[in-house]
Structure 1
């Protein structure tokens, strides 16, 4: 039987299929057995490409976070923070189910550590102490991850009767679910601008 013209398994195919499972079923929904089934192979076949599930998750994380833009730090530390935060949030918002894994920090991901090193170096070069630079990077991540993990409007009912009598200042809260995307974006931008201005 002739060999297939394209390999059945490749790192890109494994990562993209695993990410599709995470997007669909959540982080806990990914297992090596389920991944193998979706790829049409035996689970043992995966281990020739990825040693562990954690390695696979770190590879997926590196792929997602490759979209984070740190070029602004060559212009100005403020511009760097703005570009970095916006592109980081966009990357996370595209795959919210993997955000809890990414929230643990850069771990051993070389690309993430390189971006963090560049950010930290730009802040120290601009006159911030090393401790302050660390705090600024942490503060930026709190804003980015907080905005990517949840939507403010998710817990609000669309029924005006739930608010109008008992909560007079929330008489328009029933409209929030309909403008969730816009509200989340604008709230993130306001928090980010306030953070950078405050610095």
Structure 2
């Protein structure tokens, strides 16, 4: 029996094609008609794998969540809750920075997405295991998601133009170097994220003594200091 000229359609092929479209052209570029054309199949064949465009975008978002490192939350890892949150946040932001157009979908929350739910489960479990009460662990997970996804929705440095004349000292006496921000975008944005992350974690560390359970042994056998 002759082999088909094109690979059989699969969820993975659809997600890969949709991911490429999102990365290169944005969310509005994705439609079942466009995907079918890219994949060389008929439109209705996509519905054997996904019910609609929203399900496809959810799968694309989950493929990004899979890229987030969760090893720091494993019981065998030596990092404490603060170090774990810091390193996880860097990994999460790196994944979003590589796929910025899908961030609005991720920002809605995990819904039923398996990888997204594993991220939420890992963060919540680690915080409770470290001694945070469940309600506060939930708030920490929400806070981290707001901060990380918010940072990935746009670039502060990219909001300035590379034109010195746009920042007349008579009007903007403190923006004399603003035209240099665009070419230093990555440095500025990553530095701002690190500053904000450390400030956020410093604040949580101050709250830890107030909220953490004083008599319970925390994750990995460590006791609360």
Tell me how far apart the structure 1 counterparts of residues 61 and 162 of structure 2 sit (CA, whole Å).
35
Cα distance in structure 1, aligned partners of 2:153 and 2:4: 41
Task: Report if the CA contact (8 A) 1:61-1:102 is conserved.
Answer: yes
| Structure 1 residue 167 displacement after superposition | 1.4
Q: Is the 8 A contact 1:32 1:53 kept in 2?
A: yes
Deviant stretches of 4+, over 4 Å? none
In structure 1, what is the equivalent of residue 176 of structure 2?
171
Q: Distance in 1 between matches of 2:119 and 2:97?
A: 19
Query: Which residue is equivalent to 1:108?
Result: 112
SS at match of 1:170: coil
Residue 155 of structure 1 deviates from its aligned partner by 2.4
Q: Which residues of structure 2 form unaligned runs of 5+?
A: 205-225
Deviation at 1:146, TM superposition (A): 1.3
- 2:63 and 2:115 in contact (8 A); partners too: no
SS in 2 for 1:7: coil
Alignment of 1:95-134 (within 5 A): 95-134=99-138
Match of 1:182 in 2: 187
Give, in whole Å, the separation in 1 of the partners of 2:98 and 2:37: 25
Indicate the structure with greater helix content.
1
Whole-angstrom distance in 2 between the partners of 1:186 and 1:192: 10
- Judge conservation of contact 1:73–1:79 (CA < 8 Å) in 2: no
What TM-score, normalized to structure 2? 0.83
Q: Tell me the TM-score normalised to structure 1 length.
A: 0.93
Task: Summarize the alignment of residues 60-139 of structure 1 with structure 2, pairs less than 5 Å apart.
Answer: 60-74=60-74, 75-139=79-143
Q: How far apart, in 2, do the equivalents of 1:6 and 1:43 lie?
A: 16
**Equivalent pairs, count:** 199
Query: How far does residue 5 in structure 1 lie from its aligned partner after superposition?
Result: 6.6
Gaps of 5+ in 1: none
